[in-house]
Structure 1
Amino acid sequence: MSYEGWILIVGSLAGITCGMTGCFLILRKLSMLADAISHTVLLGIVLAFIISQSMNGFYMLVGAAVVGLLTAFLVQIFHSSGIQEDASIGVVFTFLFAVGVILITLFADDVHLDVDHALMGEITFVPWDLVKWGFLSELPKAFLMLTIVLVINLMIIGFFYKELKITSFDPQMAAAIGIPVLLIHYLLMGMVSITTVASFDSVGAILVVAMLIAPGASAYLLTDRLSVMLLLSAIFGVAAAIIGYFLASWQDVSISGSMASVNGLIFAIVFLFSPTKGLISKRLSMKKIKMD
């Protein structure tokens, strides 16, 4: 596989994984929780390194999942105590993220683990960061991590599709028919956590928020069916990764930033021209109603 090919594949995998996972956050109106988790998993990565003294991807995923669940748990506890959800998210993510930054400077200052790398990512280094896994030849670590996480997420969505769907659209009815709403919620938060850390090498913690939210938001404006929304979000994620890469190569700018920007442009186009929920179609419908 060529250098350019690996970048396109890894970017596309990040787009698919983040886009499909983000659909459920949008339906649950938890988009800002994705921002919180994308920052607080930095603490999980640092703790995993301190405990294991290894940059092994498995330890990073476990650490990220634990801290991501901790973030969701603390936000839920504060919100249940009467604190507004946005305030709960702000307090929890700033505190846990700050602790992660402090631990990096204290215990991981001399290794390839820094705030800039975790926040911004650098997809251009992905083809050179190779690992050997089993009988396979050396492959980019980001590719293996994203592939594993994508398979895990697809399995969770496949096995718990009905539960995820009902709890996303009507949690009260889900609880009434015996679905463990809280358990499904934390299962989703675990998906968000491992998806975020697996995407660090390609887009970083800050820009992964765009890939978690924008493809799903664009798909939401085009369909009322969850299955179609998941498919469209994956398509938009891949399109943004590919178009973003070639735009970045053309203009010699940040690849991850370009991918995130294209995600925003796709959303803007859909927001304007969606046949049913687009701004222009709504204006035309209102104008037609007034004329009648």
Structure 2
Amino acid sequence: MSASLVIMITGALVGASCGLVGAFLVLRRLALMGDAISHSILLGIVAVFAITGSRSPVLMIIGAGAVGILTVALVSWIEGSRLVREDAAIGLVFPFLFAIGVIIVSRFPSQVHIDVDAVLYGEIAYVPLYRLEMFGWDLGVQAFWTVGTMLAIDLLFIALLYKELKLSTFDAGFAAALGMSPVLLHYLLMAAVSTTTVVAFDAVGAILVVALLVVPAATAQLLTRRLTILLALSVAIGSGSAILGYWLARVINGSISGAIAAVLGGIFFLAFMFAPTQGLVAQMVLRRRQRRRFVQDLVVAHVRAKNGPVPALTLGSAFGWPEAATARAVSDAREENRLVLDERGQLDVPRSSPGSGAPS
């Protein structure tokens, strides 16, 4: 298998995993929590290296997962004091834990065998070099096994707890009334985010993990309001961006991680501008239609209130509108058969269909 294919498959697997759990982060308005976890787990990784001297993926996941849960617990504890809001609590906790990890990396480099640049930026181009060997057998690219297993776990987690996650995300009170535990579900989700983050961490770095957790889900949220479709779109956008980002990096001879993040940003911008119902352009068109409809309703109501023909030329002075706005409102109302204009320039509501001119 070529190195290019290995990189694209790994990126697609990472994008799919982050897109799945990231969707619930975005829906719960916890996007910043993903940023916090992706940085604070550095402490768990370097602590495992420093204490055990091992670079075992299993130990690394356990250590990082523990620190991820610690991050969530500390944020919840500080927020629960009601002295600090949640966003400020996140901003207090994760720089502190991340800083401790950076100190360990910089103070004891011989023990941890890692540097801050690798943590922040990662380098997915090196993924084909790391192979998984067991009992003398070469089982293939290590990232396929680690990230692929994590994707399978995330899929199983969401499939088994889909109803519970959905209810606790949109109405935690109702979920609690049905006997569910929103707090437990919250910590389970954060554990899934922590483990997903650390598995993706080695290949793409903390910064790109944050982008893959947040941007695909935020983009999908602009395109649909159905959770199942949102999850599918989030996975597709995360995986597709990784593949497109790789080819962009090849074309410009630049950073693969940077290109993936740029593609994510570009896709989000397109959705932000041109999403069918929630995009900026669609919202502008909708507001314009609503304004025209409102003006039309005012004109029809004015004519109806007169209980007789109204000279069309007097409408502008009655409302204080420009002539063009008045003419457009009259034209719209006539097209919809809400007003009729006789040969003398008099406006009236159609008498043949009572009630048809009532404002809507």
Q: Per the alignment, do residues 174 and 135 of structure 1 end up closer, same or farther by CA in structure 2, a change over 3 Å counting?
A: farther
Determine helix, strand or coil for the equivalent of 1:275: coil
Determine helix, strand or coil for the equivalent of 2:179: coil
Contact 1:202 1:256 in 2 (8 A): no
Determine helix, strand or coil for the equivalent of 1:132: strand
1:20 aligned onto 2:20:
yes
Deviation at 1:214, TM superposition (A): 0.5
One-letter amino acid of the counterpart of residue 74, structure 2: L
- Relative contact order, CA 8 A, sep 6+: which one is greater? 1
Deviation at 1:215, TM superposition (A): 0.4
- In 1, distance between residues paired with 2:14 and 2:38? 14
Match of 2:164 in 1: 163
- In 1, distance between residues paired with 2:51 and 2:171? 40
Determine helix, strand or coil for the equivalent of 2:223: coil
One-letter amino acid of the counterpart of residue 24, structure 2: F
Match of 1:212 in 2: 213
Contact 1:11 1:242 in 2 (8 A): yes
- In 1, distance between residues paired with 2:62 and 2:18? 18
**Structure 1 residue ranges (4+ consecutive) displaced by more than 4 angstroms after TM superposition:** 133-136
Deviation at 1:140, TM superposition (A): 2.2
Match of 2:234 in 1: 233
CA RMSD of aligned residues (A): 1.4
Contact 1:52 1:59 in 2 (8 A): no
* Equivalence map 1:23-172=2 (5 Å): 23-82=23-82, 83-109=84-110, 112-133=113-134, 137-172=138-173
Determine helix, strand or coil for the equivalent of 1:131: strand
- In 1, distance between residues paired with 2:184 and 2:108? 34
- In 1, distance between residues paired with 2:19 and 2:134? 27
One-letter amino acid of the counterpart of residue 34, structure 2: A
Determine helix, strand or coil for the equivalent of 2:74: helix
Identity within the alignment, %: 47
- In 2, distance between residues paired with 1:230 and 1:113? 34
199-208 or 5-14, larger mean C-alpha shift: 199-208
1:283 aligned onto 2:284:
yes
- In 1, distance between residues paired with 2:162 and 2:134? 31
Q: Per the alignment, do residues 176 and 200 of structure 1 end up closer, same or farther by CA in structure 2, a change over 3 Å counting?
A: same
- Unpaired stretches in structure 1, ≥5 consecutive residues: none
TM-score (norm. length: structure 1): 0.97
- In 2, distance between residues paired with 1:136 and 1:167? 45
Contact 1:15 1:241 in 2 (8 A): yes
> How many pairs align?
292
- In 2, distance between residues paired with 1:284 and 1:202? 43
Q: Per the alignment, do residues 265 and 139 of structure 1 end up closer, same or farther by CA in structure 2, a change over 3 Å counting?
A: same
Determine helix, strand or coil for the equivalent of 1:283: helix
- Unpaired stretches in structure 2, ≥5 consecutive residues: 294-360
- In 2, distance between residues paired with 1:215 and 1:198? 18
1:271 aligned onto 2:272:
yes
- In 2, distance between residues paired with 1:132 and 1:225? 42
- In 1, distance between residues paired with 2:143 and 2:54? 16
Deviation at 1:94, TM superposition (A): 0.6
